[in-house]
């Protein structure tokens, strides 16, 4: 059966940031230079092609976009300024909107106004709810313990609820990714035990981001800066989430500082701060790293919220420890007004790659082994991943 080409699909991806994909003339330079492309996962050239031709189903079932870390080497090499790195990024955004069953991601990626309004709405609703709760059950003059404005046990439940919703959507998305890539897109059998054999990939990739470090260092410095920054940001992010979801009660108690616990909070805060500053600096002072040259509006929303969260978190912490309890309570409300939309937005934004990327790598490794196994069985040339 012939696959229908859709010459108009390129316009759809345009909204997700793939503005230059039409320039590609398939020379393959990009795939040659990419540290992650290989015989089985041929990108970015192949993905560029599928996008140009509007082969929606092929794209939807492909894992290739997740194997790209946007080191930008390909975009630097491309003789046609087709920006393959940015195309892979755009495909990730598009895939996120595909994995998302609610259609929210699609709305966010396609309309900046809608995204801002939604974030504002959630922030305001959170603010109203918390203020109402605080006034009805406690006093603005009390920060913790009896009669607290926002008691830590309440916050704990609140955090878990919001976090639960977030994770629910993320895992729903990951499930759809599995369905697309491992069921719909596979033309060869996948032995069930491969899922177990490759399971270590998930935590391994999640923690080390090892493949990112494999991206070619331009030879300028020993440490690959984007990887380091990304590592700092990701660990800060993860530690914070664990602290908030599990240890929020001892964390919030005060005013004494519980060093074995708080030290993690401080480290994570520093990580996040550095990450934010680096993100903003790279985009304002345009650098040699191509991956920072283009920024989708949704990326800014993430960083702005994160900055508000980090700064308000620090301020609230200081105010609490120095005894300005009313101010600390108000800052806490502001802090949570940023935290809630930020967390809820996660599954619908680029940052869901936190889950999707390790999952995709896990699936990709399973696919790879399935293909190699099949190749040994039949004629090597007849193998395809749909």
Partner 1 sequence: MEKKKDKIGVYICNCGTNIAKVVDAEAVARYAATLPNVHLAKTYKYMCSNPGQEMIAEDIKENDLDRVVVAACSPNMHERTFRSALRMAGLNQYMLEMANIREQCSWVHKDRKAATKKAMALVSGAVQRVLKHEALESMSVDMNPSVLVIGGGIAGMTAALELADAGNFVHLVEKDDHLGGNIARVDLTAPYYYSAVDLLSERMTRTFEHKNIQVYLNSKLTELSGFVGNFAAKIQKQNGLSEDEAKAKEVAIGNVAICTGYKEFDASRVTHYGYGKLPNVITSFELENMLKSGKVETKEGKIPKYVAIVHCVGSRNKEFHTYCSRVCCMTALKYAHEIKSANPECYVSDVYIDMNAFGKGHEDFYRQSSKAKTLFLMYDKENRPVIHKAGPKDDCEMLIEVHERLSGEHIEIPADLVVLMVGMEARDDSHEIAHLTNISQDKDGWFIESHPKLEPVATTTDGVFIAGTCVAPKDIPDTVAQARAAAARILARISKGKIEIDAVFAEVNEDVCSGCRICNVMCPYSAIEFDEEKKKSHVISALCKACGVCVAACPSGAIKGRHFTDQQILAQIEGIFSKVEYSEPAEVS
Contacts to partner 1 by CB under 8 A:
1-8, 10, 22-26, 46, 49-50, 52-53, 55, 80
| Of the candidates 91, 70, 85, the residue with the CA atom closest to the CA atom of residue 30 | 85
Number of residues that bind ligand SF4 (CB under 6 A): 29
- Give me the least distance between CB of 253 and partner 1, in Å please: 60
Q: Which of 10, 19, 22, 29 is close enough to bind ligand SF4 by CB under 6 A? A: 29
Does position 44 interact with ligand SF4 (CB under 6 A)? The reply is: yes
Does position 84 interact with ligand SF4 (CB under 6 A)? The reply is: yes
Q: Which of 16, 41, 70, 99 is close enough to bind ligand SF4 by CB under 6 A? A: 70
Does position 224 interact with ligand SF4 (CB under 6 A)? The reply is: no
Which region among 84-92, 231-239, 348-356, 377-385 touches ligand SF4 (by CB under 6 A)? 84-92
| Of the candidates 91, 72, 93, the residue with the CA atom closest to the CA atom of residue 81 | 72
What gap in Å lies between CA 50 and CA 70, rounded to an integer?
19
What gap in Å lies between CA 314 and CA 266, rounded to an integer?
9
Peptide bond into 207 cis (omega under 30): no
Of the two residues 216 and 249, which places its CB atom closer to ligand SF4 in the complex? Answer: 216
**Among ligand SF4, partner 1, none, what binds residue 55 when CB lies within 5 to 8 Å by partner kind?**
partner 1
Q: Tokens 């989708």 label which residue?
A: 296
What gap in Å lies between CA 255 and CA 212, rounded to an integer?
41
**Among ligand SF4, partner 1, none, what binds residue 2 when CB lies within 5 to 8 Å by partner kind?**
partner 1
Does position 71 interact with ligand SF4 (CB under 6 A)? The reply is: yes
CA distances from 19 to 26, 84, 254, 290 (A): 16, 10, 51, 15
- Tell which phi-psi region holds residue 26, choosing left (phi > 0), alpha (psi between -120 and 50) or beta: left
Q: What are phi and psi of 385, to 5 degrees?
A: -100, 120
User: For residue 305, what are its two tokens?
Assistant: 């919220």
Does position 123 interact with ligand SF4 (CB under 6 A)? The reply is: no
Greatest Cα pair distance in the chain: 76
Q: Which of 85, 232, 254, 347 is close enough to bind ligand SF4 by CB under 6 A? A: 85
User: For residue 335, what are its two tokens?
Assistant: 């802090």
Does position 30 interact with ligand SF4 (CB under 6 A)? The reply is: yes
**Among partner 1, ligand SF4, none, what binds residue 4 when CB lies within 5 to 8 Å by partner kind?**
partner 1
Does position 333 interact with ligand SF4 (CB under 6 A)? The reply is: no
- Give me the least distance between CB of 88 and partner 1, in Å please: 17
**Among ligand SF4, partner 1, none, what binds residue 71 when CB lies within 5 to 8 Å by partner kind?**
ligand SF4
Of the two residues 24 and 328, which places its CB atom closer to ligand SF4 in the complex? Answer: 24
CA distances from 30 to 47, 76, 309 (A): 11, 9, 38
Helix axes 84-99, 353-377, angle to 10 degrees: 100
Does position 65 interact with ligand SF4 (CB under 6 A)? The reply is: no
**Among ligand SF4, partner 1, none, what binds residue 96 when CB lies within 5 to 8 Å by partner kind?**
none
User: For residue 299, what are its two tokens?
Assistant: 């990326």
Of the two residues 331 and 367, which places its CB atom closer to ligand SF4 in the complex? Answer: 367
What gap in Å lies between CA 330 and CA 76, rounded to an integer?
48
What gap in Å lies between CA 85 and CA 68, rounded to an integer?
8
**Among ligand SF4, partner 1, none, what binds residue 233 when CB lies within 5 to 8 Å by partner kind?**
none
The secondary structure element, H or E, covering residue 91 is helix 84-99
Does position 45 interact with ligand SF4 (CB under 6 A)? The reply is: yes
Does position 248 interact with ligand SF4 (CB under 6 A)? The reply is: no
State the residues that interact with ligand SF4 by CB under 6 A: 24-30, 33-34, 36, 43-45, 48, 68-74, 77-78, 80, 82, 84-85, 88, 215
């Amino acid at each position: 059966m012939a696959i229908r080409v859709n010459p108009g699909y390129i316009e759809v991806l345009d909204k997700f940031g793939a503005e230059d994909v039409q320039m590609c003339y398939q020379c393959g330079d990009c795939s040659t230079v990419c540290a992650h492309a290989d015989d089985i996962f041929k990108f970015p050239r192949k993905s560029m092609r599928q996008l140009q031709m509007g082969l929606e189903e092929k794209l939807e079932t492909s894992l290739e976009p997740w194997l790209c870390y946007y080191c930008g080497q390909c975009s630097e090499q491309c003789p046609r300024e087709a920006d393959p790195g940015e195309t892979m990024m755009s495909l990730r955004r598009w895939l996120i909107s595909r994995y998302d069953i609610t259609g929210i991601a699609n709305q966010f990626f396609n309309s900046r106004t809608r995204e801002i309004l939604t974030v504002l709405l959630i922030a305001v609703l959170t603010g109203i709810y918390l203020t109402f709760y605080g006034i009805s059950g406690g006093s603005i003059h009390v920060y913790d313990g009896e009669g607290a404005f926002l008691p830590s046990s309440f916050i704990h439940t609140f955090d878990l609820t919001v976090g639960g919703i977030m994770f629910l959507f993320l895992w729903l998305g990951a499930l759809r990714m599995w369905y697309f890539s491992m069921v719909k897109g596979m033309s060869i059998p996948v032995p069930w035990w491969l899922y177990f054999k490759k399971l270590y990939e998930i935590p391994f990739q999640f923690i080390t981001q090892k493949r990112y470090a494999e991206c070619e260092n331009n030879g300028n410095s020993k440490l690959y800066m984007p990887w380091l920054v990304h590592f700092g940001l990701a660990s800060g992010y993860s530690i914070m989430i664990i602290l908030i979801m599990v240890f929020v009660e001892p964390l919030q108690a005060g005013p004494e500082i519980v060093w074995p616990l708080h030290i993690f909070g401080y480290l994570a805060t520093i990580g996040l701060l550095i990450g934010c500053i680096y993100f903003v600096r790279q985009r304002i002072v345009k650098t040699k790293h191509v991956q920072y040259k283009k920024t989708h509006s949704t990326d800014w929303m993430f960083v702005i919220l994160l900055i508000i969260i980090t700064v308000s978190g620090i301020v609230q912490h200081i105010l609490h420890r120095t005894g300005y309890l009313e101010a600390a309570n108000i800052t806490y409300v502001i802090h949570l007004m940023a935290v809630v939309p930020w967390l809820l937005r996660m599954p619908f934004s680029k940052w869901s790659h936190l889950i999707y990327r390790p999952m995709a790598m896990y699936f990709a490794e399973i696919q790879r082994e399935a293909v190699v196994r099949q190749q040994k069985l039949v004629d090597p040339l007849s193998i395809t991943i749909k």
